[in-house]
Amino acid sequence: RKEVEQDPGPFNVPEGATVAFNCTYSNSASQSFFWYRQDCRKEPKLLMSVYSSGNEDGRFTAQLNRASQYISLLIRDSKLSDSATYLCVVTVPRFNAGGTSYGKLTFGQGTILTVHP
């Protein structure tokens, strides 16, 4: 089983639609959760962190369910510019020799979103 699993899509939606992406992770010790966005042939960029209480950033809402080991991302009022691959990312606590936690990111395979006029 993959550590982080996402529905690869693709999702094709019209402008203005609401779209939701889901992600599950296998390691119950996972500590930090993120959604990254990656445009074609570009680097991943942090979209938002995901907090236990759920959080919102404009049209984007992220939810975390630790009991079910499930993360979601909701995009409202989709724009053409939202077309990208959305990567679900988790970190598991890992400590270096100095006892400091460091963030090895574990990525899902990504969900492709295309927003059309």
- Output 30 or 44, the one with its CB closest to another protein: 44
Amino acid at 8: P
Among candidate residues 20, 34, 24, 22, the one with its CA nearest the CA of residue 1: 24
- Output 3 or 74, the one with its CB closest to another protein: 3
CA 8 and chain centroid, separation? 12
Q: Binding residue for another protein (CB under 8 A) from 30, 34, 61, 78?
A: 34
Q: Binding residue for another protein (CB under 8 A) from 21, 33, 35, 44?
A: 44
x-or-dash pattern for another protein, window 57-96, by CB under 8 A?
A: ------------------------------x-x----x-x
Task: In whole angstroms, give the CA distance from residue 95 to residue 84.
Answer: 33
Could you tell me the smallest distance in angstroms from the CB atom of residue 15 to another protein?
26
**Residue holding tokens 């606590």?**
93
Task: In whole angstroms, give the CA distance from residue 67 to residue 117.
Answer: 38
CB-CB contact of 64 with 52 (8 Å): yes
By CB under 8 A, tell whether 104 contacts another protein.
yes
Size of the site for another protein (CB under 8 A): 27
Retrieve residue 35's tokens.
């959604």
Contacts with another protein by CB under 8 A lie at 4, 8, 34, 41-46, 49, 87, 89, 94, 96-98, 100-110
